[in-house]
Structure 1
Amino acid sequence: MHTIELGDVSVTRIGHFDNRPLSPAEFFPGTDLELWEANRSWLAPAHWDPQADRVRIAVQTWLLRSGGRVILIDTGLSPDPARAGVPAGGDLPVGLAAAGVAPADVDLVICTHLHADHVGWNTRVEPKTGQRVPTFPNARYLFSRPDVDFFHPRNLAEGPGRSAAVFIESIEPILRAGQATVWDGSYTVDENLRLSLAPGHTPGLGVLTLESGGARAVFVGDLLHSPIQVLEPDVSSCFCHDPAAAARSRRQVLEWAADHNALVVPAHFGGTHAVEVARNGSGFTVLADAERTWR
């Protein structure tokens, strides 16, 4: 388990599992397949399995220690989902224990958005009652208002990544317990961390910007699923609810990261799990692996 220090903030990766769900053409409609081949030397095998022609993604949680608090970014997939076709997740409490953290130690849970693979360990089943309760009893959970409204069962419509079961299992018990803080626009976590909306993948996708001691990073959730999107920022994933808006948000965040030498930390990258980017004319390029990454 590798921890890096970014100013006064420590960041530890808690891995759940890797997956190879779709081909590049399926995962990223409109992607230039020749660009994948041209960049095979560094895309494979960390981000792409060329033999099987499948995109490789990781499911992971980020553990931050900032301002004296223990903070989680996303909680992965549920260990016992009630949703057909959704795989069970890893054991987040075991991963946290390896980092010396018990559920009661967690002060804040930041859900970048409300898709199933980002909120699954928000809750657990209480054996005595059979009811779902917050996994982290002392934590505040941060949900964005646009996502709470969009995914609420009363507003639910057919579409990818929208399931009433996700909200009922992973969001509603937090609201009922009074442990949720629902934010909109932007939200200051502490002197090192702030949240802002980057709509498109979901209406309320939140990106977390870290600035501390001269170090900068941006945790972008599903704004990026593969580093190929750094080279093709206008190409969104098939899981984006508004692909055009996601592309606009992606370009804005990449511009900021390139101009501020910020580490870009997506939710699902394999390999070193993060990248640094630079401007390349009107687009962007991926810089060589930096030392401040997780291997």
Structure 2
Amino acid sequence: MQWQVGNVKITKLVEMETIGSTRFILPAATNDEIRKLPWLIPHFATEEGRLKMSIHSLVVETPSRRILVDTGLGNDKQGRGVPVWNNRDTPFLEIMAAAGFPPDSIDTVLCTHLHVDHVGWNTRLVGGKWVPTFPGARYLFGKTEYEYWRDYTAEPDKVAVFNDSVKPVVDAGLVDLIPSDHRLCEEISVIPTPGHSPGHMSVLIESAGERGLLSGDVAHHPCQMAHLDWCSVVDSDPAQSAASRHTIFSRFADTPTLVIGGHFSAGHIKRDGDAFRFEALGS
């Protein structure tokens, strides 16, 4: 699936799609509560109120750059907290290449944050060793985000993610640590949206008078536009996460800004009373 923002093209590459089984992420999003938001159906939820979500990467092509935003789960990884995320064997790189994006054509990898489902394809297993998947790219990590996870030891699954999907790229000398208001190029900059993780960033696209927002995990699902206080169980700071949602949705509501989430597809944010709703541009 592709979209255009001025002179910038965005291509979504899906690694995994799910229906339901998301209560562990958004416990407040019960089937009954979701059915009270009919605008979610059919693009973002089923008639029964089960959430539709995906794990995907976004290729952002500017006139001068080919940027991969977030890199999914990856193959062959171990020690993940969700069983189906362990030891995966999928043709994601072949799917990328078939879409016109072989790994050696990517010049920039930008991770909105360093959670398991956004860094996995940073590396691949070759001869028993984790090596960078995109050796011709500079990998951009938020400085705040990176330093938090570098020093984090509390949960073994989080440490495993850092050790197999972040540290090898650092060790290879391919990483640039950026501030959360960094400008990558004329058309692309990042916006600080902390709360889901300490250094979470969203991506702003501005080109030829048009705007796009790759919101990352500031919201896992559009239902959080209607309920800003619905937080993911993995939010590092729930109050800050809700505040970031309010700030970012207020900024772009009722504008023609194309918005694409880290786990949902494209649409426009509309004000709806004291909160917001999302108008889909296709599933």
1:194 and 2:189 correspond: yes
> Matches of 1:260 and 1:50 in 2, distance apart?
28
Cross-structure match for 1:278: 270
* Cα deviation, residue 67, structure 1: 3.0
* Cα deviation, residue 31, structure 1: 5.0
> Matches of 2:12 and 2:243 in 1, distance apart?
28
- 1:83–1:4 distance in 2 versus 1, CA, 3 Å: same
- 1:60–1:69 distance in 2 versus 1, CA, 3 Å: same
1:100 and 2:100 correspond: yes
1:120 and 2:120 correspond: yes
Q: CA RMSD in A?
A: 2.2
Kept in 1: contact 2:258–2:268 (CA 8 A): yes
* Cα deviation, residue 158, structure 1: 3.5
> Matches of 1:32 and 1:121 in 2, distance apart?
31
Cross-structure match for 2:7: 8
Count of equivalent residues:
279
> Matches of 2:199 and 2:224 in 1, distance apart?
20
> Matches of 1:215 and 1:95 in 2, distance apart?
29
1:182 and 2:177 correspond: yes
- Structure 1 residue ranges without an equivalent (≥5): none
| Fraction of identical pairs, as percent | 32
- 1:155–1:285 distance in 2 versus 1, CA, 3 Å: closer
> Matches of 2:162 and 2:84 in 1, distance apart?
14
Matched to 2:240, the amino acid is: A
* Cα deviation, residue 98, structure 1: 1.5
1:173 and 2:174 correspond: no
3-state SS of paired residue (1:48):
coil
Kept in 2: contact 1:75–1:92 (CA 8 A): no
- 1:89–1:39 distance in 2 versus 1, CA, 3 Å: farther
> Matches of 1:72 and 1:99 in 2, distance apart?
13
Query: Which of the numbers 219, 223, 227 marks the counterpart of 2:218?
Result: 223
1:80 and 2:76 correspond: yes
Matched to 1:155, the amino acid is: Y
Cross-structure match for 1:48: 45
1:247-268 C-alpha deviation (Å, 9 max, x unpaired): 1011111011115431221011
Cross-structure match for 1:131: 129
Kept in 1: contact 2:193–2:200 (CA 8 A): yes
Kept in 2: contact 1:188–1:194 (CA 8 A): yes
Cross-structure match for 2:143: 145
- Structure 2 residue ranges without an equivalent (≥5): none
1:110 and 2:110 correspond: yes
Matched to 1:43, the amino acid is: L
* Cα deviation, residue 34, structure 1: 4.7
Matched to 1:64, the amino acid is: V
Cross-structure match for 2:204: 209
